[in-house]
């Protein structure tokens, strides 16, 4: 669509909104930071804090991940208590195979 190197040569005020959004999206691509979990380190983490620990994210992001349904198959929930299968959660998000 656009060439990022060409856009970097333009002053920011000369960019169209589409060009600016394209440049931002191409520049800010966060790589998921994932804790090194193996079966020896423990298979389950608990609560929103556990999700935070797995994905190294904030509490609000952990809540968003849980609400998105992406890791539903990895969650065992009884009432307000949740346990997350770490290996399955990482597979569902796509960070490990």
Q: How many domains does the chain have?
A: 2
Per-residue pLDDT averaged across 20-33, rounded? 76
59 pLDDT band (50/70/90 cuts)? very high
* Range of the structural domain that residue 5 is part of: 1-30
Same-domain check for residues 54 and 8: no
Give the pTM.
0.54
Burial class from Cβ neighbours inside 10 Å (0-12, 13-18, 19+) for residue 86 reads buried
Q: What is the Cα–Cα distance from 26 to 74, expressed in whole angstroms?
A: 31
Q: Is residue 87 located within the same domain as residue 44?
A: yes
82 and 48 within one domain: yes
Domain check: are 23 and 43 in the same one? no
- Over residues 42-54, the pLDDT tens digits come to 588 999 999 999 8
89, 49: one domain: yes
Q: 61 and 23, same structural domain?
A: no
Question: Is the same domain home to 87 and 45?
Answer: yes
Average pLDDT for the chain = 83
CB 82, CB 47: distance < 8 Å: yes
Query: For 28-48, b where at least 16 C-beta lie within 10 A, e where not — what string?
Result: eeeeeeeeebeeeeeebbeeb
What local confidence, expressed as pLDDT, does residue 40 receive?
A: 46
**Same domain assignment for residues 59 and 82:** yes
Residue 39's pLDDT is: 46
End-to-end Cα spacing for the chain: 31
Distance from C-alpha of 75 to C-alpha of 5, rounded to nearest angstrom:
43
């Amino acid at each position: 669509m656009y060439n990022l190197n060409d856009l970097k040569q333009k002053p920011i005020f000369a960019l169209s909104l589409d060009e600016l959004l394209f440049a931002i999206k191409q520049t800010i691509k966060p790589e998921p930071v994932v804790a090194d979990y193996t079966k020896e380190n423990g298979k389950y983490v608990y609560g929103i804090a556990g999700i935070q620990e797995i994905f190294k994210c904030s509490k609000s992001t952990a809540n968003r991940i849980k609400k998105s349904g992406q890791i539903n198959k990895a969650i065992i929930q009884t009432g307000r208590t949740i346990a997350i299968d770490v290996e399955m959660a990482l597979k569902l998000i796509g960070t490990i195979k």
